[in-house]
Chains A and B, each alone.
Chain A
Amino acid sequence: MGGFWSHVVEPGFFQSQTVQVALLVGGVVAAISGVVGVFAVLRGQSFAGHAFGDISAAGGAGAFLLNISPLFGFLGMSLVAAGCMEAIGVRRVRGRDVATGVVLGAGLGTSALFLYFNTTLHSTSGAAISVLFGSLFAISTSTVPAVVASATGALAVVLLLYRPLLLSSVGDDIAASRGVAVRVTGAVFLMAMAATVALAAITIGAILSTALLVGPAATALRMTRRPSTAAVTAAVIGAAATWLGCLLAYDSYYWPPVDHGWPVSFCIVAVILISYLVVEAARSHRFRNASVRDGSEIRAAGVTPHLGAASDGGHDALGTSRTD
């Protein structure tokens, strides 16, 4: 480690307990959000995923008000919302946005009310900022095991439903005809997604949780043709963006305005957005070259961009002609 590295990685970065907690919780939650996000995008449920972030904010704000652990506030509210959406009819493609919109509206209203009480009754004005924009550097060590355990649980559910979820994203009828319990599968996935988004909302904030759910997934879907690789890639991008964001936020203390660090959530989201743009640019570049070469854009879509091979250890580049 020369002088250069001590500028990039602030001495003491890895020793700080705040940083260690942030890297652990942020990394785990971001990786799992990436995996869940791939299925959310495949199933056309990114709007519902976004809604869980905003709705769980109402739970977070309520938890501040009642002085209970924000974890239970975020998680509880999000799961209740998932139950409501399922009851209203999130399954039908047409009913999906309506059900989500209705529940989202109710959640945002409650959220506004609770945040208002927080500011007026308790004068805890920091609640609004920390609920909406998160505080990866302010996670209390005591909630770490619960956060990691619930995130792992959500991941286990999604991995368990891996094949039925893929099959029903091709078509509900086709999945049902193969013996998949489509309705139960959808409901359980919705719950797992609600839990994942709630955990993301705690770590980088309700408003930005969508970025963690959809950003890495959208990038991964552009990089690979295989569902398993897409899930792994999204997890890697999510975790890497979160860690890089933490590092940048730590370093930003020396950026203007001097002595005021930049919000860590902003840094994470910026990294996610940039990685998406880079992959997109690399892909359209490849498209152009491929079209000039053989006039076939569609076939080129199947070719894995270099970035995909780099970030998941060359997995896809070596394995394109093999089954999983």
Chain B
Amino acid sequence: MADPASGMMAGTGPPVLELDGIGVWLSGREVLRDVRFGIGPGEVVGLIGANGAGKTTIIRVVLGLLSPTSGRVLIAGRPRPRRNRSVGYVPQKISLDPEMPLRSRDLVALGLDGHRLGVPLPSRRRRELVDEMLRAVGATHFADARVGSLSGGEQQRVMIAHALISRPKLLLLDEPLANLDLRSEQEVVDLVARIAKDQGLAVLISAHDLNPLLPVVDRVVYVANGHVASGTTDEVVTSSVLTELYGHHVDVIRLHGRILVAASPGLSAERGELEDSIDGATAV
């Protein structure tokens, strides 16, 4: 497996997260095989792959929501505990209709103590923490609006505040840019970059298109065919590495600071599914 940078970490110290030979079978199908990569402190890593490549599955394994068939997940060098709140998580979509009586600040506060039993008592410290977090993500002016009534970009900010208020060392963002317009996309990317830098946070951010993430990612983990290739963008997003990963010839074109990934024409005409599996990674 092409994996030029496995074990290479930008930061120092033990990796915040390490996946060691993860294999996952779902409904009798092998979804992931021998997935290994790590994230160092303060690193932003892009998890790139087409729809159905296995990005969400990898994130669910890291969160402990799904037990891998083989391999280990190490957090700060140790096997991940069953209940682990040291990992912040923003899911791909949240199910909140506009009528749901839950304000941004309520959702952020749930990030602090949502697992606790009983009704929360009003507390000044709790309120200040929530206000501070809302400020940090630029959500102050919609702090009192129902979360369900917010735009996609605003909801992402609130969810990031929810995930970060418990001060995790690692933040997992599952396709935060899906369904965002260009401007909100840019705002969320900037926010993630700033937070990672300010707080020395390790971030794993999944996307089907690498291009919007290029300014922030230190390294990429490319997922296809159940395998991953990880390393810097220059190491991974090359014709030879992706060709081996996809098992078919793939061209990589760099154009005005953007990267286009495309199957060679003959192959894609012959194998319709290849085109499918690659278009997610293509800048259009």
Report whether chain A binds chain B.
Answer: yes
**Which residues in A have some Cβ–Cβ distance to B below 8 Å?**
42, 159-164, 166-167, 169-171, 173-180, 221-222, 224-230, 298-299, 301-302, 320-324
Q: What are 24 A-B pairs at a CB distance below 8 A?
A: A163-B114, A164-B115, A167-B115, A169-B95, A170-B94, A170-B95, A170-B110, A171-B91, A173-B89, A175-B115, A177-B89, A178-B85, A178-B115, A222-B99, A225-B101, A225-B103, A226-B101, A227-B106, A299-B145, A299-B149, A302-B144, A302-B146, A323-B109, A323-B130
What CA separation (Å) do A323 and B103 show in the bound complex?
9
Name the distance in Å between A312's Cβ and chain B's nearest Cβ: 13
Residue of A nearest to B82 (CB): A179
What CA separation (Å) do A287 and B64 show in the bound complex?
44
Interface hit among B116-124, B219-227, B269-277:
B116-124
Residue of A nearest to B147 (CB): A170
> B65 interface residue, CB < 8 Å from A?
yes
The answer to whether A324 and B122 have CB atoms under 8 Å apart is yes
> B126 interface residue, CB < 8 Å from A?
yes
> B84 interface residue, CB < 8 Å from A?
yes
The answer to whether residues A179 and B106 also contact, given A42-B100, A226-B101, A298-B98 and a CB cut-off of 8 A, is no
Number of interface residues of B (CB under 8 A): 42
Q: Which B residues touch A230, using CB under 8 A?
A: 101
What CA separation (Å) do A299 and B141 show in the bound complex?
11
> B48 interface residue, CB < 8 Å from A?
no
What CA separation (Å) do A179 and B110 show in the bound complex?
12
What CA separation (Å) do A173 and B100 show in the bound complex?
18
The answer to whether B95 and A324 have CB atoms under 8 Å apart is no
The answer to whether residues A221 and B99 also contact, given A167-B114, A174-B91, A176-B65 and a CB cut-off of 8 A, is yes
What CA separation (Å) do A137 and B184 show in the bound complex?
59
> How many A-B contacts at CB < 8 Å in the complex?
117
Per DSSP, are chain A's interface residues mostly helix, strand or loop, or mixed?
helix
Name the distance in Å between A274's Cβ and chain B's nearest Cβ: 21
What CA separation (Å) do A170 and B163 show in the bound complex?
13
Selected from B60, B83, B87, B145, the residue in CB contact (under 8 A) with A173 is B60
The answer to whether B117 and A169 have CB atoms under 8 Å apart is no
Q: Which B residues touch A225, using CB under 8 A?
A: 101-103, 144-146
Interface centre among B94, B114, B127 (most CB of A within 10 A): B114
What CA separation (Å) do A273 and B16 show in the bound complex?
55
Name the distance in Å between B266's Cβ and chain A's nearest Cβ: 41
The answer to whether A324 and B110 have CB atoms under 8 Å apart is no
> B96 interface residue, CB < 8 Å from A?
yes
What CA separation (Å) do A140 and B121 show in the bound complex?
38
Q: Given contacts A163-B114, A299-B149, A302-B103, could you give 14 more A-B pairs where the C-beta distance is less than 8 Å? A: A159-B118, A169-B100, A170-B95, A173-B63, A174-B89, A174-B91, A175-B114, A179-B83, A222-B99, A225-B101, A225-B102, A230-B101, A323-B109, A324-B120
Residue of B nearest to A166 (CB): B110
Q: Which A residues touch B149, using CB under 8 A?
A: 298-299, 301-302
Residue of A nearest to B115 (CB): A179
What CA separation (Å) do A163 and B113 show in the bound complex?
8
What CA separation (Å) do A185 and B243 show in the bound complex?
47
> B105 interface residue, CB < 8 Å from A?
yes
Q: Which B residues touch A323, using CB under 8 A?
A: 105-106, 109, 122, 126-127, 130
Q: Which B residues touch A166, using CB under 8 A?
A: 102, 106, 110, 114
